[in-house]
Structure 1
Amino acid sequence: MNAPLHLAATLSSGRVTDVHAENSRPLAAQLLVGKTVDEAARLAPVVFSLCGVAQGVAVKAAADVAGGGSFVMTAEIERALSLEAIKLHLWRLMLDWPVLFGRQPERARFAFVLKRLDKVTDARSAYDAGGEVLDLVARELLAGFMNSLREPRNLSEMADACRRSGSIGDALARLIEAGASDPLEDPVPLLAPLPASVFADALPGGWPDADYCRAPHLSGDAYETGPLARHVNNPLVARLVVQRHRIAARLFARVVEMSDCASRLRHPLPDDMPALVDVAPLAGGGALARIETARGVLLHALRLDGDTVADYAIVAPTEWNFRPGGVFEQEGAGWAATDVAYAEWRLRALALALDPCVLYDVAVTEETAADA
């Protein structure tokens, strides 16, 4: 087992059972202890490079409040967070999802778009880049929907519309046509955007200890975080959820979210969209910062001793979705599979839809008659 996240299951009598997510990545937040706030803010994006902008903002935001001040969200921070989220979404959409369906990753297209986004330096260039992302969504990712006079009436029409929308649309269509992916009568609840104070008040003992960081919860309940939780009220996303196509719903929600991120580039700090960042004081001292990232909610808890970090804890989206008893383990079990290859493919699709921020592998063991 080389990957930090090992996803294992058993195929028994044609059904997938015993799904486990074994997360061995270290809790690296302690690397920030003993550093000054500025040092920690510079180090966090290096240690947690996949969402480095969000990590750096979280350090500064938590430190502002822990030090007795307040955090002020700016248009510049919002644009930086939105740019990072767009890049991460495009990475999955253009490079990873096509491969799952045997297609070539769109490396040249991804590099071209990334180069354009990297040229954003101010409000004007951010506005223009946001418009280009909206065009990308409309013309390439959702073309089959934009070119129709009405929304699809059923899943077959939805699959047809998806297939007219490039490689991502093809992936959506094939997910839909593969059949319902959610075997749960009582799915893991979705973690809607919540203020930092809700998390702060719910922390056992007032601080996210190592056990909590490994298996976060709200009042003892596991939740799913990410684009689906933020966009489940979108009519097309909701239709997929109702029909138990939650893997496809997560992929569709990612495309929808790109449009939201593009809108934030053009018009940051909107009153009619949830705040990306906020901070709450902790009862025992320190502060908790909450940031909505591409993969889900990110929490940073910090205590200071003067200008030095005395204690630090990070709760990442991966730990919500791949915790013991979490959405991957629950939704990954209980469905029919014809063979090990299909079972592994389906679990890879679920894992990719939940989007862990670490490398992962998938292994399915077939139970033989002698094992039963």
Structure 2
Amino acid sequence: MSLSGQLSIRLDCQDQVVRSAQVVLQRPVVAISQLLVGLSPVALLERIPLLFALCAGAQQVAAVRALEQAVNWQAAPEVELARSRLTELELIRESLVRLVQDWPLPLPLASLKALLQRCQQGINELQPWLGFRVQPMLHDPQPLHRCMTELQARWPEVEACAQGDWLSPHPALSSQHPQQPLPDVLDLLGLTALLPNLRLGQMEAEINGQPRTTGPAAAAQAGVSLGEQLVQRVQALMRRAAQAVAGLNHPPTIACIPGLEAGEGVGRVKTARGCLLQRVQVQGQQVRQWQMIAPTDWNFHPQGVLTRQLSGLVLPTDPAEAEALVRALVLSIDPCVDFVLHWESSHA
């Protein structure tokens, strides 16, 4: 298993009906923690991008926010603005890749490359602001301004591609309804309630024993078909990316979690998939504890939204169509790791 982890989905089917679904996310968070605990804050920040290939910028920002909070350091507004812009640019980049690769949005390859290039150029310009306790610095604002302006100017191409029927509801899901209520949405109050468990070393992505959803996965509305919920999730991904593009000059701020103890810090970032959280404890010049809960941990909880929506699902008789249907559901919730489907079928 890679450091990014793997998602295993096991379906027990009888006469084309999913009788039970087992969702297991394997992620070596303990092994990653062992690579980070004992380091200085500066050394931890240097190692983070080596461990996380996907959303590396968000991981760095979450880490530096947690570390600075733990040592009671308040980043200057210019620094936080730069970090927020970086995470928004990364969100736009990740959203575009998902929309084109998984659904696919009919965006011409040349346009996609140009948009991704602008995002990456902007991210590169903002990298110096990710340092631990970094001070505002003199820099040429023109390259970043040019990247953001060009990105905003090209975004109507994306909007135009989304006007067609590329995202019509999956026909096999048109009459399906969730068998169980969807999990509640993750909020700041819920994250505060999570702190006691994290301090005890418990990293389950749940609040009071219950799963939550975050990001575009939380956009699905109860009382509509699963096909319509799938469309709602992908539209939410598109909508959030569009908001990020339009708001690059004034990206949303991230509120601090109240109730932290001395030496404790929690950093949050709103990624394309939802809430990324890192928690640290710092004593002296060393990191004594490091923890992470990512959007995939929330959205693919064993009793989470996917398990609830797969249970009772009526599958097409054709095996290829059945697998395509389940994959569409999984992709609409958007895991940040590879996933494998396991099928067990029987007849009454």
Per-residue CA deviations over 1:88-115 (Å, capped at 9, x if unaligned) read: 11111111223xxxx9996554333212
Given the alignment of the two structures, is residue 83 of structure 1 paired with residue 66 of structure 2, yes or no? no
Q: Does the C-alpha gap of structure 1 residues 185 and 338 become closer, same or farther in structure 2, counting only changes over 3 Å?
A: same
Please say if residues 268 and 275 of structure 2, whose CA atoms lie closer than 8 Å, have aligned partners that are also in contact.
Answer: yes
* Sequence identity percentage: 25
2:224 is aligned, of 238, 243, 266, to 243
1:320 is aligned, of 298, 313, 321, to 298
Per-residue CA deviations over 1:122-150 (Å, capped at 9, x if unaligned) read: 45224313413531332222xx3xxxxxx
Measured after TM superposition, the shift of residue 176 of structure 1 is 6.5
Residue of structure 2 equivalent to 1:203: 195
CA distance in 1, matches of 2:229, 2:64: 35
Q: Does the C-alpha gap of structure 1 residues 9 and 356 become closer, same or farther in structure 2, counting only changes over 3 Å?
A: same
What is the aligned-residue RMSD (CA, Å)? 2.7
2:277 is aligned, of 299, 307, 315, to 299
Given the alignment of the two structures, is residue 48 of structure 1 paired with residue 52 of structure 2, yes or no? yes
Q: How many residue pairs end up in the alignment? A: 320
Given the alignment of the two structures, is residue 311 of structure 1 paired with residue 289 of structure 2, yes or no? yes
Note the residue ranges of structure 1 that are not aligned, 5 or more in a row: 145-161, 164-169
Q: Scaled by the length of structure 1, what TM-score is found?
A: 0.77
| Aligned AA (1:187) | L
Given the alignment of the two structures, is residue 16 of structure 1 paired with residue 18 of structure 2, yes or no? yes
Measured after TM superposition, the shift of residue 53 of structure 1 is 0.6
| Aligned AA (1:113) | L
CA distance in 2, matches of 1:76, 1:67: 21
* 1:28-177 matched pairs, under 5 angstroms: 28-72=32-76, 74-98=80-104, 108-120=110-122, 121=125, 122=141, 123-132=144-153, 134-141=155-162, 144=163, 162-163=164-165, 170=166, 172-175=167-170
Residue of structure 2 equivalent to 1:25: 27
Please say if residues 49 and 59 of structure 2, whose CA atoms lie closer than 8 Å, have aligned partners that are also in contact.
Answer: yes
| Aligned AA (2:183) | V
| Aligned AA (1:258) | A
| Aligned AA (1:268) | H
Note the residue ranges of structure 2 that are not aligned, 5 or more in a row: 126-140
Q: Does the C-alpha gap of structure 1 residues 320 and 180 become closer, same or farther in structure 2, counting only changes over 3 Å?
A: farther
SS in 1 for 2:55: helix
| Aligned AA (2:215) | G
SS in 2 for 1:119: helix
| Aligned AA (1:246) | Q
Per-residue CA deviations over 1:175-225 (Å, capped at 9, x if unaligned) read: 37841454235222222xx33x6513433345262xx42x31122221111
| Aligned AA (1:52) | A
Q: Which stretch of the first structure deviates more once superposed, 199-208 or 299-308? A: 199-208
Q: Does the C-alpha gap of structure 1 residues 261 and 80 become closer, same or farther in structure 2, counting only changes over 3 Å?
A: same
Q: Which stretch of the first structure deviates more once superposed, 20-29 or 125-134? A: 125-134
